[in-house]
Amino acid sequence: MALKRPKWNPGTVVVLEHVSKVLKDNPLRDPFVRNVAAWLPPQYDEGATRGRGRRFPVLVDMVGFTGSGLSHIAWKNFAENVPERAARLVHEGKMAPAIIVFPDCFTALGGNQYVNSSAIGRYADYLVKEIVPFVDLHFRTLASRDHRGCFGKSSGGYGAIVHGMKHPETWGAIADHSGDAYFDFVYHHDWPNTLNELARYRAKKPVPGPYDVRRMEKGCDKGRDDGRVRRFLEAVWAKPKLTMAEGHAPMNPCMAATYDPEPKAPNGLRLPFNLETGEMLEDAWRRWQRHDPIHMVAGHAKALKSLRGIYVDCGARDQYHIHYGTRILSKRLAEAGIRHRYEEFDDTHSDIDYRMDVSLPFLTKALR
């Protein structure tokens, strides 16, 4: 537990407005004018005059599902937000000074995986083509991939490792905290809960007695929305308060929009299950698996080997079973001869920001 009485320089948080061309025509009609926050370390203003002075490496924070980077600069009770944590680590000499950037990538589906999707928006392009140069323009950065890294947890951890694979020209090091991996474990167990929520919005309501499965599944047996997904989302967007199940259920349509978008399908996506019976659609699931980090390592080994640092960790009691996926990911990295650091710790998926005490020093050391 952190005391809220730091005796060291906290640095400075700056919030700028960014107008995105990449997100302007996003299919969810989410805002394209967004705030971007940046934490400047205490050393940023030392000796700086007229825009001249020391330059710093950059770390970009990719938050988890339902989050925004802006939430990581918010005040926390009995705990540190990310700027407070970084200020302490710099003061203790554990972390080299760096600029930390907090982009807002929240969407109407609850978030995204920081990749380009025809059903959500081009969030990979938003980061690498817009936010990175925007930050380099407005702050004294060391503007090269060798001094720029990204980190995140859960969906953000997925984003970090995939960006390391697909955008090595932008990132020099990455840190993946409990990032989605081994989709067969991570997503499968959660689909019945989502299907139950979606079933409440069927157009054809079942009645007690004989049940004609083939009639009820018509229109949704191939993973296409028969209207229930759209009605569910519209209800969620209109409600002033969501149940836990309602707040969690959009995640799976969001993942479908990420891993298997289809512009001609309702909502621009296909689901990997028959919405009425729960039967898996094998072809659809194979399309999901192509985006699973454990299956992507071999095809992106050269990019991963070019990185100056790869850090992965996960709680050994992760309630989404991601620790099995990160173990396989570490195994695949080792088999490909890719240097990385993998750690486990005795905790779950929740409230693990304290693991940044390990990852942030790792990144700044790799990016010096």
Residue 13, judged by CB atoms within 10 A of its CB (0-12, 13-18, 19+), counts as middle
Q: What is the pLDDT of residues 230-256, one digit of tens each?
A: 999 999 999 999 998 898 899 999 999
Residue 127: closest CA among 71, 171, 84: 171
Structure tokens at 304: 């991963």
3 state SS for 164-207? HHHCCCCCCEEEEECCCCCHHHHCHHHHHHHHHHHHCCCCCCCC
Domains belonging to the chain, first-starting first, are 12-182+293-366 (3.40.50.1820), 185-289 (no CATH)
Q: How many other CB atoms are there within 10 angstroms of residue 32's CB atom? A: 16
Residues 119-147: pLDDT tens digits? 999 999 999 999 999 999 999 999 999 99
CB 126 within 8 A of CB 60: no
346 Cβ contact partners less than 8 Å away, ≥ 6 residues apart: 315, 316, 317
pLDDT reported for residue 339: 98
CA–CA dist 81, 72 (Å, integer):
6
Give the pLDDT of residue 114. Answer: 98
Instruction: Read off the pLDDT of each residue in 25-36 and give the average, rounded to a whole number.
Output: 97
pTM over 0.85, yes/no: yes
d(CA 9, CA 41): 9
* Tokens coding 94: 């554990």
Look at residue 17 and tell me whether its pLDDT is greater than 70.
yes
Per DSSP, helices labelled H in 200-321 are: 213-217, 228-238, 244-248, 251-259, 282-289, 293-296, 301-306
Work out the number of other CB atoms within 10 angstroms of the CB of residue 131: 23
Query: How confident is the model over 321-342, as a mean pLDDT?
Result: 98
Task: Indicate whether 2 pLDDT > 60.
Answer: no
Q: What is the mean pLDDT of residues 100-115?
A: 97
Tell me the DSSP string of 114-176. Answer: SSEETTTEEHHHIIIIIIHHHHHHHS-B--SGGGEEEEEETHHHHHHHHHHHH-TTT-SEEEE
Distance of CA 127 to the CA centre of its chain: 12
**Residue 270 pLDDT:** 93
Paired sense of beta strands 12-19 and 99-102, if any? unpaired
Structure tokens at 316: 């050994």
**What is the rounded distance in angstroms from the CA atom of residue 8 to the CA atom of residue 10?**
6
